[in-house]
Amino acid sequence: MSDSEAHWRPRTYWKAGTQVHVDVDVNGVAAGEGVYGQHDREIDFQVGDAHVYRVDARTHQMKVFSNGELLRTLPVTTGKPGFETRNGVKVIIEKFDVKRMNSETVGIPAGSAEAYDIDDVQWAMRLTYSGEFIHAAPWSVGSQGSANVSHGCTGMSPAHAGWLYAMTRRGDVVETVGTDGDDMTLTNGYGDWNASFKEYREGSAL
């Protein structure tokens, strides 16, 4: 990813129940400018259920899968012209039961026709560092399932968003298709799945 950051992923999405052991052997490793690693670290964890959420901006629907089973199909809205949602594979980065959303943080100036400042957006799940979320959007319920009216986020009703939020964990996968927006990149969030495994291996230090 860079001279100071290393990532690792399998060929395909992690299999539910996989036992993972991470051994970070950095004690004494030079980090530059006289700084050296102080501690090795070992971590063990188990991969949870395989949650994959498939968003189609053309049909305005999200299909929610758990371990390959379709649980629900939810009506959604995605980014409108000029603010299109990114295509590609995204991963839930962080979750907020309530989040303030201000258009200035994504380059839309206060006082402009597209400006917004909402203090209490519920069930917000971040997908990109640049500001894409899945969240409750009660103001657009009338368009969900039929039109794309957001500034790039994937919006749904509070009831649907609350249900999804309750089952979602950081690392769950969101696949977005059918928009006229840019493609997802490797670094705007946890974007590793947007490289083919061949490309990923070509960048390997192993």
How far apart are alpha carbons 78 and 56 in whole angstroms?
9
- As to burial, measured by CB atoms within 10 angstroms (0-12 exposed, 13-18 middle, 19+ buried), residue 116 is middle
DSSP string across 58-125: TTTEEEEEETTEEEEEEE-B-BPTTSPPPBEEEE--EEEEEEEEEGGGGT--TTSTT--EEEEEEEEE
- As to burial, measured by CB atoms within 10 angstroms (0-12 exposed, 13-18 middle, 19+ buried), residue 163 is middle
Pair of tokens at residue 37: 């690693």
Given the residues 60, 135, 151, 160, select the one marked as catalytic: 135
Is 135 an active-site residue?
yes
User: Among positive and negative, which fits the CA dihedral 28, 44, 66, 122?
Assistant: negative
- Parallel, antiparallel, or unpaired: how do β-strands 41-46 and 19-24 relate? antiparallel
Given the residues 60, 151, 153, 160, select the one marked as catalytic: 153
Is 39 an active-site residue?
no
Which residues contact residue 30 at a Cβ distance below 8 angstroms, ignoring those fewer than 6 apart? Answer: 36
Annotated catalytic sites, by residue?
Answer: 135, 153
